[in-house]
Every structure is written in structure tokens, then in C-alpha cells.
Structure 1
Amino acid sequence: MNIINKRKVFYVISSTIIIIGLIMMVAKGLNYGIDFTGGTSIQIKIGRMVSVDELREIMDNYDSNASIVHVGNNKDEIIIKSNKDFDNEKINEIVNIFVEKYDVKTDGVQSEKFMATMGDEIKKKAVISSIIAAVGMLIYITWRFELKFAIAAIVALFHDVLIILSIYAIFGIPANNAFIAAILTTIGYSINDTIVIFDRIREETKLSPRLSLEDLVNLSIKKSLTRTINTSITTLVAVIILYIVGVEDVKVLALPLIFGIFSGTYSSLFIASPIWYALKNREIFKTKKA
């Protein structure tokens, strides 16, 4: 497969997903969870397993978009998270309904209110940590390889972040603390794959110096393909199992990670390497012209 020759096709695929995601973000915005918007959290120990649909019949009267998850070894506790800032009277009203319907003990109830400023702090720290990670990777890859490899890797990581944001926007996945974890995990997974392929390109440069730049990159990707796909499949199996058997909070993290693994693998093979090729080819062209 001539990946370099078909690189524009891959660029179009990525651009289409990102553009759709950006349009959705502008039109509807991200579905920010309580961690970012502020709101109310109520934890109730019911003492037995109750279906989410049954619990939602109660919460629909107050917030139809509230998330309800089971916790505890026996799934006999629930956590209700709402973006609405309920006052104490409304919280007591909700709690009393559960107490009366399920004979809940009052000492098994906890409530907490979150301020939107906490979300601003989380977003600020997430941006700072991402910038620090990007600068660190830029320095490391430049030192180990060369600046062009570093630029290509950072562009691929930026691509992955935009893809994850687009997935959140398109599918309306709640953006909470798991949102930050999904992005950082995807970045870590993607850069690992990218470095493996870059290392193969560097080795092939030494082993096959007479190959054209296009053939060199294609050969390097071909030799790394089996390892990359096998790694992605084994990781995907683990994450998919988590999504199938996990509770709702785990599923909220697992779903974007599934897309993140696809994106990280895709960008390593079809974005980072072609971008390095374009940068290197441009350098060669300038050298010949001079």
C-alpha cells in the first residue's frame, strides 16, 4: 500500500471528521458534565439494586439530563449528578421521595454542590498539562531524532485531540474528569506508536540509503504495521470489555478511549509519517534548488 501517494485521502478523512465536530461544537457546544459546569451531586444508599430507568422516572421531574450511576460492591448505592444548582429545599425534596419510596435511612444520604469555578480550574490545569507535555515531547523527539520528526509528531497529537473533541461533540458524550483522562491517555498511546514508526524510518534510512524518500517511508510503515495493529487490537479488546461490563462512569471513559485508540493508530500511520515526508521532501527540494 502506497500510503505516501494516498496521503491526501487520509487528510480529507481526518479533516471531514474534525470539521463536523467543530460545527457541532459551535452549534451545540460540548456536553459538559458537573465537573466543568458546576451543579449538584446526591449519593443515596438504597440497600438494593434498582434499575436506572425506574430511578430516572423520579429524576425526570427535576432534571431529565441528570446522570444516574450505581456504585458499591452490590450496586445498592446510586449517585445522581445534575448540572442544575438545586437549593437545599429542592435537594431535600428529591431525597425525601427516595426515602419514602425505598425506605432509605437518612444516614445513607449525602449531597454536595459544585461551583463552576472548579470546572474552570480543571480546564486551566488540563490545558497547562497538555502544553507542558507537548513541549516535553517536542524537546525529547528533537533530541532523539530531529526537529522535523518532532513537528510531525506534535501535529499528529493535535490531530488526535481534535478527533477526540469531535467525537465528544458528535455523540454528545458528557465531558467530565474522564474527558481529560481520555485525551491524555490517547496522547500517550499515540506518541508511543508514532515513535516506533519514526524509529523504523531512521533505521531504514541507514539500512537502505538508496531508496527514494517515498519508498523509505512506505517500507518503514509496512514493517511496523503488524506490530502496530497487534498492539491496537489487544488494547482495544481490554477497553471494549471495560465498556461492556463496566458501570456508567467507566463506560464514559471507555467509549472515547476506543475512538482514541483508533485515532492514535490512524495518526501514527497515516498522518505523522506523511507529514514528516512532506517536511523532509521540502528540505530536499530547497537543497537541490539552491
Structure 2
Amino acid sequence: MRFNWDFDYIKVSKYFYTFSIVVTLLGILSLAVFGLNYGVDFRSGSNVDISASKTVTKEEIEPILVETGLSADEPQISAGSDRISIRFPTVLNEEQESSLKAAFNEKIDPKASFEVNTVDPEMAKELGRNAIYAVLLASLGILIYVTIRFEWRFAVAAIVALLHDAFIVISVFSLFRWEVDLTFITAVLTIVGFSINDTIVVFDRIRENLRFSKIKSHKDLNGVVNRSIAQTMTRSLNTTFTVFIASLFLFLFGGESIRMFSLAMVIGLVFGAYSSIFIASPLWAVLKSKQKPNQNNPSKTTP
């Protein structure tokens, strides 16, 4: 079955602009007040991952922490299955690690295995800086590429959509206080890749349709954009839906270590799909409509 995607996307884009602005402002407010809920990757401390041979509850673990003297740090406990994660805001020494492992093996599960990850303050700061640099360098590279392949208006619209997708995901994680770790940064960079890919596909069709269109008014320009979006809609939705389903099932049935990665991917794919349609393309149309006419031919515009 083939759907007819003919629709005035430019006309309704103002509602999506409003929605995105509201979410962005809420995200800025949340980041200013609460910041991000950094995981052990970006905050000094120790994270103890335990693989047990049976289901272990939080109530079983708390007495062990009291017994070993580790409850004073108010660690965060994630339990309820055979995978348990205990995050301490301070770095555990060898004696504390040994006492925790011994008490868990003795009182709960002698077959349990442990993995302890520790990050010192300087390493946490360096990881945070590197994560920001990675996103900025990726954006700069994309800006240069799109400018060379298309024109600066396409590049500006693409970068706005790209940063929009990345910041929306960050805002949602800040608002709901979900944990941010290195897998989250990986997810954001992956979302950036999918977002720019979708946007470039639409832009390529716009450029192709412009060659065979006579643009004499804003209505003609909007018509080209609407037609280009409609022609690429099926391809964009199929690609996004395929990755979305995979990410959703990873979130529902995957391990604890990739849960935040999967959740970020699910959110980012949804926003990335609509930003290429309702943010990037309409924004390019706005920038293009402000272009001065070619003096030799008023029906054409200068590049």
C-alpha cells in the first residue's frame, strides 16, 4: 500500500517550532537549576555491578551496606533482578570492596560475580570536556560538509536541526533526572548521525526539484519544499522506524548497561524524524525566501 504524503508541511511547522522552543526552554531551566544526573563516568565515585545467580531485591542489599559501613555515603541501588548496580559517590578502597564482596557472597549469593568501576575527579572532568568537544567537532565537520556540497543556507538549517535533536534529548534526560553516562554520549552522537542523514536526503531532493521549478514567489518555494518532503517521506519513516523498533526492544529487554543508551536513541529518533521535516526544511525555506533576486532574471535568486 502506498500512502499519499502530499501536505502543507511549511504551514504546520510553526506548531512544531513552538513545541520545540517550549521543550528547549524547559530544558535550559532544568539544566540551570538541577543540571544533569551524571553517572559514575562523569562523576567521581565507584560503581559496583553484580551478576547474581538469582533475583536480588534492594531490601536484601541495604542491611549489607549497613553492616559494612557503606550506607553512610547514601549509595544508589538498582536491583530487582539478577543484575544489581550499586553506585557510591565516593571512591571505594580495596578494604571496602573486599568487605562488600564477602558480605554479599555470605549473606545473599556465594556464586555472585563483581565488577567495580572507579572514576577519580580529574578523569571525570576530562571525560565531560571530551564529550562536549566531540559533539562540537561533529557539528563543525557537518557544517563544512553541507556548505561545500550544498550552500550555507542548507548548512545552517541542518546544524539547527542537528543541535535541536541533541539538546532535546539532553533536556528530556535533565527533566526526568535520568542518568547520563558514556553510553548516553554515544547515543547522542549516533542520533546526530541519523538526523543529518535524514536531513541531507530531503535537502538533496529539494535541490534536485529546484532545477526543474520556476520560483517566482514564496508560495512556489514552499511548494517545492512540500513536494520534496512528500517524495522522501516513505524512505525517511522506514529507516527511522526500523532503528526505532530495534532501540525500543533493546530498552525493554536489554541489559542495564545499555538501558540509557537505548532510551536516548528512542527519544532522539522520534525528534530527529520530525526535525528533518518540520524544522530543517521549513527553516531553509525561510532563509531562501529572504535571498535577493538576481538582477538579470527576477524569477531566479542568487546562490
TM-score tier, shorter chain, comes to: 0.7 to 0.9
Does the alignment pair 1:17 with 2:23? yes
What is residue 189 of structure 1 aligned with on the other side? Answer: 194
Residues 68 and 81, structure 1, Cα contact 8 Å, conserved in 2: no
* Residue aligned with 2:164, SS: helix
Residues 157 and 191, structure 1, Cα contact 8 Å, conserved in 2: yes
Give the Å deviation of 1:111: 3.9
Residues 47 and 116, structure 2, Cα contact 8 Å, conserved in 1: yes
Q: Which amino acid aligns with 1:225?
A: M
2:120 and 2:291 map into 1 onto residues whose CA distance is 52
What is residue 3 of structure 2 aligned with on the other side? Answer: none
Q: Which amino acid aligns with 2:184?
A: F
Report which of the two has the higher share of helix. Answer: 1
2:60 and 2:206 map into 1 onto residues whose CA distance is 56
- Residues 205-257 of structure 1 show CA distances to partners (whole Å, capped at 9, x for unaligned) of 11333571111111111111121112111111111111111111221110111
Moved more, 61-70 or 159-168: 61-70
* Residue aligned with 1:50, SS: strand
What is residue 249 of structure 1 aligned with on the other side? Answer: 257
1:51 and 1:258 map into 2 onto residues whose CA distance is 28
2:143 and 2:155 map into 1 onto residues whose CA distance is 5
Q: Which amino acid aligns with 2:76?
A: N
2:221 and 2:171 map into 1 onto residues whose CA distance is 33
* Structure 2 length-normalised TM: 0.83
**Which segments of 5 or more consecutive residues in structure 2 lack a partner in the other structure?**
1-6, 299-303
**Which segments of 5 or more consecutive residues in structure 1 lack a partner in the other structure?**
none
What is residue 152 of structure 2 aligned with on the other side? Answer: 147
Does the alignment pair 1:115 with 2:115? no
1:109 and 1:60 map into 2 onto residues whose CA distance is 15
* Residue aligned with 1:36, SS: coil
Q: Which amino acid aligns with 1:164?
A: V
What is residue 105 of structure 2 aligned with on the other side? Answer: 99
Q: CA RMSD in A?
A: 2.8
Relative to structure 1, the CA distance from residue 170 to residue 286 in structure 2 (aligned partners, 3 Å threshold; closer, same or farther) is farther
Relative to structure 1, the CA distance from residue 168 to residue 2 in structure 2 (aligned partners, 3 Å threshold; closer, same or farther) is same
What is residue 230 of structure 2 aligned with on the other side? Answer: 222
Relative to structure 1, the CA distance from residue 209 to residue 31 in structure 2 (aligned partners, 3 Å threshold; closer, same or farther) is same
Relative to structure 1, the CA distance from residue 172 to residue 286 in structure 2 (aligned partners, 3 Å threshold; closer, same or farther) is farther
Relative to structure 1, the CA distance from residue 189 to residue 59 in structure 2 (aligned partners, 3 Å threshold; closer, same or farther) is farther
- Residues 58-87 of structure 1 show CA distances to partners (whole Å, capped at 9, x for unaligned) of 4775235244597xxxx6x75533233345
Amino-acid identity (%): 35
